[in-house]
Amino acid sequence: MVAIQMVDLKRQYAHIKQEVDSAIQNVIDNTAFINGPDVAAFGNELAQYLGVKHVIPCANGTDALQIALMALGLKPGDEVITPSFTYIATVEVVALLNLQPIFVDVDMDTMTMNIDSLKAAITPKTKAIIPVHLYGQSAHMEPLLAIAKEHQIPVVEDNAQAIGGSYTFSDGTTKMNGSMGTIGCTSFFPSKNLGCYGDGGAIFTNDDALAEELKMIANHGQKVRYYHERVGCNSRLDTIQAAVLRIKLKHLDRYNNARRSAADFYDTAFANHPNIKTPFRAAYTKHVFHQYTIQLHQVDRDALIQYLAVHKIPSMIYYPVSSHEQKMLANFGGANFKLPTTDALNKCVLSLPIHSELSQEELTFITETVLNGIKAQQ
Ligand SMILES: *Cc1c(COP(=O)(O)O)cnc(C)c1O
């Protein structure tokens, strides 16, 4: 058995090596490094896949979020509602733009934005809501979008962890994650469900005027070369990355299904265990398991991590410190927010290896070792 990884990109590459190598070579042969034809082609293919009108490729997922907020015309001090239980990038861009992050709690089950907390957090100064489709499961978008609509607040979906997943509304319509809000954002960081071989990101919208604005911001605030209408940034997806992504997009559903099968295996092995709560799968979402994150009860988590490490099984805490408690946000009053579910989750979550290449043998070894590790504590 090869060493188990949280994410095994080497094995995934082995299956698509010829395709990828020739696509990269093609970019080099054409020296089409910046804005080569693969960038636009990938944008169109992704738009088609997501069922969204516009895809604006950019340099990474953090830029995608920043550019999205810049396009909404917010003013310093405007309030932006986000979960604290997320990767820091979601919140960092809010602070970077001198907007005020308003942290709301998450559900214990889904670990995504709690709708009652969202309702309670809305004020006349709320100018955006950023739901995060955490670990591969979409936030509860139907009630969230209804609240946003009622108050006319734009919604920016952080879809860095759930591309290829979807949400089904009560009328039966299903939409892809990232296509439901005013703007959707994603990351193509190598370990994401759709990852490239470096940094990358993209922004989605169905709004023509917003699409123009997003494109302009990502391109130094210019529509016409050398005529700069507003302060923007320089955020491009490299052609080499777009070429890789065009190939991997064709395999995305298969990759996500492999992740879901691995999650099924874990669920079965851990079913009804008194110390393990397996990831809750909300009926309204297709979970694409960017992470397989269990909640541990009455288990010494650090000791279990150690036990797994001794058996060469990696595991991770996503995330050990929640955003509102980061030093970075002290000046934004982060510590003043009281988020009991977020605090409880921080202490009990543990993410196990999950990726598109896990074998039954590896899954058996991981689940047996987790169960033995917990038993050893009792
Ligand atoms: C990865 C990630 C980002 C940032 O993406 P980068 O490409 O690394 O900048 C933002 N939000 C969430 C939830 C993420 O997981």
Residue boundaries of the structural domains of the chain: 9-104+111-246, 252-375
Give the mean model confidence (pLDDT) for residues 226-240: 97
**Residue-averaged pLDDT of the chain:** 97
Picking from 373, 202, 361, the residue whose alpha carbon sits closest to that of residue 275 is 373
| pLDDT surpasses 80 at 188 | yes
CB of 238 within 6 A of ligand 1: the answer is no
Mutate to test the pocket of ligand 1, among 84, 90, 194 (most ligand atoms within 8 A of CB): 90
- pLDDT-derived band at 114 (thresholds 50, 70, 90) equals very high
Q: Tokens in use for 304?
A: 């279990």
Beta bridge partners of 129: 81, 155
Range 197-219 average pLDDT: 98
Please indicate whether residue 85, judged by its CB atom, sits closer than 6 Å to ligand 1.
no
pLDDT, tens digit, for every residue of 25-42? 999 999 999 999 999 999
pLDDT of 2 strictly over 80 = no
pLDDT, tens digit, 9 for 90 and up, residues 291-318: 999 999 999 999 999 999 999 999 999 9
Q: Please tell me whether the overall predicted TM-score, pTM, comes out greater than 0.95 for this model.
A: yes
Residue 1: pLDDT band (50, 70, 90) is low
Q: Does domain 252-375 have CATH number 3.40.640.10?
A: no
Confidence of residue 256 (pLDDT cuts 50, 70, 90): very high
DSSP string, 271-336: TT-TTEEPPP--TTEE---SSEEEEESSS-HHHHHHHHHHTT---B-S-SS-GGGSGGGGGGTGGG
Mean pLDDT of 338-358: 97
Residue for token digits 């997922």? 61
**Pairing status of strand 201-205 against strand 292-296:** unpaired
Q: Which two tokens stand for residue 198?
A: 């470096």
Q: Give 199 Cα–ligand 1 centroid separation in angstroms.
A: 10
Q: Distance between CA atoms of 241 and 314, rounded to whole angstroms?
A: 28
* Nearest atom within ligand 1 for CA of residue 63: 9
The CB of 351 under 6 Å from ligand 1? The reply is no
- For ligand 1, say whether the CB of 186 is within 6 Å of any of its atoms: no
Protein residue with its CA nearest to atom 5 in ligand 1: 61
Residues in the chain: 378
Rounded to whole angstroms, how far apart are CA atoms 64 and 70?
Answer: 10
In this prediction, residues 260-289 reach a mean pLDDT of: 97
Torsion sign (Cα): 136, 137, 142, 144: negative
CA of 133 to the centre of ligand 1 (A): 11
313's CB contacts (< 8 A; 6+ apart) are: 4, 352, 353, 365, 366, 369, 370
Q: Contact at 8 Å (CB) between 99 and 76?
A: yes
pLDDT band at 331 (very low <50, low <70, confident <90, very high): very high
Check if 132 has its Cβ closer than 6 Å to any atom of ligand 1: yes
For the segment 206-216, the average pLDDT, to the nearest whole number, is: 98
Q: Which fold has domain 9-104+111-246?
A: Aspartate Aminotransferase; domain 2 (3.40.640)
- For residue 60 and ligand 1, the question of a CB distance below 6 A is answered with yes
Q: Is the CB of 86 under 6 A from ligand 1?
A: yes
